Structure 1
Amino acid sequence: MLNYILKHYHLQAKDWISYSSAPTKIKNHFELAVKFDKPNRKCLSCSGIRFHKHGRTPRPRKVQLTEYMGLPCFLMITIARYRCVTCGVTHASQIPERLVLKGQKDSTLLKTQIIKKLTQKIAFTDASRDLHLTSHSFYRLLDQLSEKDKTNKLPRVLCLDEFKATKDCTGSMAFIAMDGESHEIVTVLEDRRIEQLVTYFLRFPRQVRMQVKYLVMDMNYSYDKLIKRCFPNAQLITDRFHVVQQLTRAFNSLRIQVMKSFDTRSSQYRHLKYYWKHLLKHYDDLSEKHFYSRSLRRWTSSRQLVEQLINYDPLLYEAWQVLQVAMGHFRNKDSDAFFDLIEGLDTRILPEPFVKKYQFLLRKRSSIELALKLPYSNGCLEGMNNKIKAIKRCAFGFRTFRNFKKRIMLMNTVLTALSTLRWENTKMS
């Protein structure tokens, strides 16, 4: 095992002496006793370069490695002492920081395992149990990560969204920004209000902010102000998912209204309540594979089921036809036909709330047309938000937003986290 450690850390084998070939089991852990015998390059007092051996440290230094045969393993290092010939000061050999930092117990190999655990959707208690550590080791490592965001670079495509924040935040929702091309997180802020966002982005130099060409976001009205105040060269792109969501929500509200017009004990009420997901699909995506429906008490397919449901009410049939045509134009990226359909909706045929929800998209016409022409979307950011919700649920919530943000940054990319990792070692010379 010592040979593996020396090879992994690129250490010289001549400076290490092992008392045993394999770790020795002591109670519920393993120990590997070694001796480190290498004088320093120069004396810390007089900068002398001549030394004499002067015994060894009375107690070995205990460094925890990764687990061995399912149990924690410790490296017991007996350090040699040397006396300077010039000034007579005695000092111990300094262990290479590639193995373990001064004043710390966890080896860098163990810290690498901790970082890998932090990138996974797992709670601190479960991760610490797997590595035979306490949860304080994870929190100490999080404290060593940098919290500062780089203000010298912004991506060409900037995706914006929000998610549920922690209790110590001033606002209820937090803000997240991601590069739409490389899918790297730009920043995570504890407040999504426009004043805080403008204050943050104005920290970037104007030349950096001028590099942003597209802002991809949902239909949040407040984010539009960022373009005028922070990104004068940027164009707004409305995420395609939220456009389809607006269409399906309008139809679903009408479906509920039609469903409530029937008696709760009727078959029409029951069918419209149980099979509503089939109505939201595009007709070309409906399966013709038969399945047995207990509610209908017969074999049917998704296409036959939809044809039956839309005939329950003429109003539902008209709204379903509008939804199918609109989704067809949106699929084909025909923006002119899509908006011509919305402009031609008549409140004498369809309810006014349904028409208003569709005509709301007319306000976002330019950004939706741009979304149909360009390949950018908020899909990468929505996937990251899903991971954030999952890790928040596994961890049973976070007490501070500071640790929450660092965990998000670690999940996004390990390489970025390792490059920004700064170890706390104030005593290091």
Structure 2
Amino acid sequence: MSTCNDIRNLIDIQDENITFLPGCVTYGEYKGKPCKYISGELTYEPTHCTKCGIKNENYIIFKNGKQESRITLPMIGIARSFLKLKKQRFFCKACQCSLTAKTSIIEKNCHISNQSKAMIVIKSTEARSVKSLSNDCSVSWHTVQREINKVAQSTKSHHQALPENLSFDEFKYAKGLMAFEYINAETGDILDILGARTSRIIKNHFISNYSLNDRRHVKTITIDMNAGYVNVIKEIFPRASIIIDRFHLVQLINRAMTKTRIKVMNRLKRVNNEDMKKYRRLKKYWRLLQKNELKLKTTEYTYYPLFGQRLEKSIVEEMLAYDPELKANYQLYQRLLKAINMRQFETLKVILEERSSPLISSYMRTSLKTLRKHLPYIKNSFIYPYNNGRIEGINNKIKVLSKVAYGYRNFYNYKKRIMIHFKFKPIETNLIKKSRYKVA
């Protein structure tokens, strides 16, 4: 009876010693759930005894029955799939030992195929929970975590050398706990993740893993306005220029403007119908007050509820006329925004050194004080092209990973999953090819 090569291609088996006969696919149950069984046979003529090493001459090794094993395969269709493989047994006359035929589709003393393990690694690069991965791959969640741990060893940081441009940031991984990460600012590669962001832990990490010469090699480090990072960088990176991310500068004054608008808006929340109308307008069209005034539409009329057919610029001018404090803070906000966007450091410096008007809110005064404190590092952000855009994007993906997994109790398991998610995604095809030719 001829063998069926289509089955071998379907389940991606490259071992030619395994044969399948027509009608080898049957349906049954496993642990009360429907499944699919594929029956096959593994046999060949051994060249030597794997126990004593003697060559197979003059029939010193002969066939001695078969042993059936159940091997877990990747799911085919909607049912779990298993390979019922009858392995040839051999007996060696020289050492009086029994041998079992070996195959490259599984490792020794294992019933999970290499294809299933490769599928676990491929799917673990997606933002999915471990339980979801175990269901898709027809294995337990312990097996999924074990394979993640095994593959994560190849992503382990070796701390060989530091790039010239770094980027620091943190993310929340549990209630009240923050993790610290640093990446290559040019390529976006994650270099390492620490379980805390305290100055002591960060300092000990860099001093113990990198020599002083390596740390002197670093030219720039991009951070947000976390004062703790500034002190640590000065101590362990003597030649690095600190860059304050421009996004956080805009965010700082943007929030100050928002709080000022809310303060003015709440003052107008009265019984008076005219004041209530102003309140509703400020609440509904807050985005126009946050928008760069150079981008406001000045020629295109549009219908706006509560205003009618108007220009964006005229709407902003009318809302600013409601309160002198709102107008003063808006004008200062726009001056700061223009200086930051145009990278005009001297202009920004002049604005910060000016004596503040009594109409400037306490929120905006606090923001100005913070900007003056970080002024030397803000200057670097205007000189160098680096920012925290890459690391902020990485953090967003990390947060999605945490949400779909419903959080991680173990930080090191979380770190391994992050490393696999970011470092193994481009080589999924290589993982599939490697699993085909993996020798047990």
Task: Tell me the TM-score normalised to structure 2 length.
Answer: 0.85
Q: Deviations over 1:196-217 (max 9, x none)?
A: 1111111223133233221111
| Distance change >3 Å, CA 346–CA 200, structure 1 → 2 | same
Q: Distance in 2 between matches of 1:73 and 1:85?
A: 38
| Distance change >3 Å, CA 176–CA 2, structure 1 → 2 | same
Structure 1 unpaired stretches of 5+: 421-427
1:210 alignment counterpart: 216
Aligned-residue RMSD, C-alpha: 2.8
| Distance change >3 Å, CA 297–CA 347, structure 1 → 2 | closer
Q: Distance in 1 between matches of 2:369 and 2:234?
A: 25
1:233 alignment counterpart: 239
Q: CA deviation at 1:238?
A: 0.7
Q: Distance in 2 between matches of 1:133 and 1:298?
A: 62
1:176 alignment counterpart: 181
2:394 alignment counterpart: 384
1:374 alignment counterpart: 384
| Distance change >3 Å, CA 290–CA 18, structure 1 → 2 | farther
Please, which of 26, 34, 42 is the counterpart of residue 24 of structure 1?
26
Query: In 2, are the aligned partners of 1:218 and 1:242 still within 8 Å (CA)?
Result: yes
Aligned partner of 1:69: which letter?
G
Q: Distance in 1 between matches of 2:98 and 2:230?
A: 67
2:94 alignment counterpart: 86
Aligned partner of 2:388: which letter?
N
Aligned partner of 1:18: which letter?
F
2:258 alignment counterpart: 252
Structure 2 residue matching 1:66: 3-state secondary structure: strand
Aligned partner of 1:93: which letter?
A
1:334 lines up with 2:339 in the alignment: no
| Distance change >3 Å, CA 193–CA 298, structure 1 → 2 | same
| Distance change >3 Å, CA 326–CA 95, structure 1 → 2 | same
Larger mean Cα displacement after TM superposition, 116-125 or 346-355: 346-355
Structure 1 residue matching 2:126: 3-state secondary structure: coil
Query: In 2, are the aligned partners of 1:343 and 1:359 still within 8 Å (CA)?
Result: no
Please, which of 124, 130, 135 is the counterpart of residue 129 of structure 1?
135
Q: Distance in 2 between matches of 1:195 and 1:172?
A: 16
Q: Distance in 1 between matches of 2:140 and 2:301?
A: 54
Aligned partner of 1:311: which letter?
A
| Distance change >3 Å, CA 286–CA 101, structure 1 → 2 | farther
Q: Deviations over 1:87-121 (max 9, x none)?
A: 2322112222xx22223332222222222322222
2:103 alignment counterpart: 95
Q: Distance in 1 between matches of 2:309 and 2:116?
A: 58
Q: CA deviation at 1:343?
A: 1.5
Aligned residues: 412
Q: Distance in 1 between matches of 2:95 and 2:18?
A: 27
Query: In 2, are the aligned partners of 1:53 and 1:80 still within 8 Å (CA)?
Result: no
Q: Distance in 2 between matches of 1:309 and 1:21?
A: 79
Structure 2 unpaired stretches of 5+: 1-5, 432-438
2:170 alignment counterpart: 162
Larger mean Cα displacement after TM superposition, 394-403 or 40-49: 40-49
| Distance change >3 Å, CA 194–CA 90, structure 1 → 2 | same
Q: Deviations over 1:24-73 (max 9, x none)?
A: 33352222211122455543432212252322333x22222222122222
Query: In 1, are the aligned partners of 2:218 and 2:239 still within 8 Å (CA)?
Result: yes
1:65 alignment counterpart: 73
| Distance change >3 Å, CA 297–CA 243, structure 1 → 2 | closer
Query: In 2, are the aligned partners of 1:39 and 1:82 still within 8 Å (CA)?
Result: no
Structure 2 residue matching 1:57: 3-state secondary structure: strand
Q: CA deviation at 1:279?
A: 1.0
Structure 2 residue matching 1:83: 3-state secondary structure: strand
Runs of 4+ in 1 over 6 A off after TM superposition: 416-420
Q: Deviations over 1:275-305 (max 9, x none)?
A: 22221111223356655444x1634454343
